[in-house]
């Protein structure tokens, strides 16, 4: 585990859940609840609004000592001084992102249910890899299925942090941590709940005795 990435909850924003000026407030609550990593994810807003929100989040996260990553947008991550970026299969290549963001940036890569993709990402300098979805997901209902055994297999061959994502709840997340996940990436389970801080604490508690 790199010093910059700590085991625990990886809270991912969704602007559909965080309208009406709630973004900063609720991310702050997630951090107080124990989130170790924050990702800004938006698929609908204008570039100007996205930059404004991401810049404000970058300042908030820095004040708490929590890394902020930007989903799929290397240029935005560079513009707001984010800690790094998360890349999907069809986003900017890892080397290109590294050139733009520098050697200290955190770069994560989605590997879905494919261990070979994770091996390749690790060999090219990824700071973490993400597998999933593991359970039915409202955010990506059509995403490929990954199984907990994949985490165990990946743990045996990778020496970078492993993230699990997709339909994770406090009730099923413990299985994934036991199987080898270093972080649980969650959207609706945190930001879709009436008490964001309490929801985050439920996930953070899964790592207390691991």
**Buried (b) or exposed (e) across 121-154, using 16+ Cβ within 10 A?**
bbeeebbbbbbbbbbebebeeebeebebebbeeb
d(C-alpha 199, C-alpha 99), whole Å? 37
Using alpha carbons, select from 82, 76, 48, 187 the residue that is nearest to residue 130.
187
Please identify which of the residues 41, 62, 114, 155 carries the catalytic annotation: 41
Catalytic site includes residue 140: yes
- Sequence-distant (6+) residues with CB within 8 A of 149 are 179
Please give the biggest Cα pair distance in the chain. 44
Beta strand extents in 88-191 (DSSP E only): 106-112, 128-131, 162-165, 183-186
d(C-alpha 103, C-alpha 121), whole Å? 15
Please identify which of the residues 22, 140, 155, 201 carries the catalytic annotation: 140
Question: Cα 19 from chain centroid?
Answer: 20
> Across the chain, how many H-helices and E-strands are there?
9, 8
Catalytic site includes residue 41: yes
Catalytic site includes residue 63: no
Catalytic residues: 41, 110, 140
């Amino acid at each position: 585990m790199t010093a910059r990435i700590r085991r625990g909850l990886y809270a991912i924003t969704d602007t559909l859940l965080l309208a009406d000026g709630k973004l900063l407030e609720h991310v702050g609550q997630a951090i107080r609840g124990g989130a170790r990593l924050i990702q800004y994810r938006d698929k609908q807003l204008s570039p100007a609004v996205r930059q404004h929100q991401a810049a404000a989040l970058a300042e908030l996260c820095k004040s708490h000592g929590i890394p902020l990553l930007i989903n799929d947008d290397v240029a935005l991550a560079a513009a707001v001084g984010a800690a790094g970026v998360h890349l999907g299969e069809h986003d900017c290549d890892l080397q290109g992102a590294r050139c733009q963001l520098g050697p200290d940036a955190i770069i994560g890569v989605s590997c879905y249910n494919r261990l070979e993709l994770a091996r390749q990402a690790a060999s090219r300098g990824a700071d973490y890899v993400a597998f999933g979805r593991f359970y039915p997901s409202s955010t990506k209902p059509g995403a490929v299925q990954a199984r907990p055994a994949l985490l165990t297999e990946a743990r045996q061959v990778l020496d970078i942090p492993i993230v699990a994502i997709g339909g994770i709840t406090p009730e099923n997340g413990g299985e994934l941590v036991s199987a080898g996940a270093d972080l649980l990436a969650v959207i609706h389970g945190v930001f879709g709940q009436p008490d964001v801080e309490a929801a985050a604490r439920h996930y953070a508690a899964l790592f207390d005795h691991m």
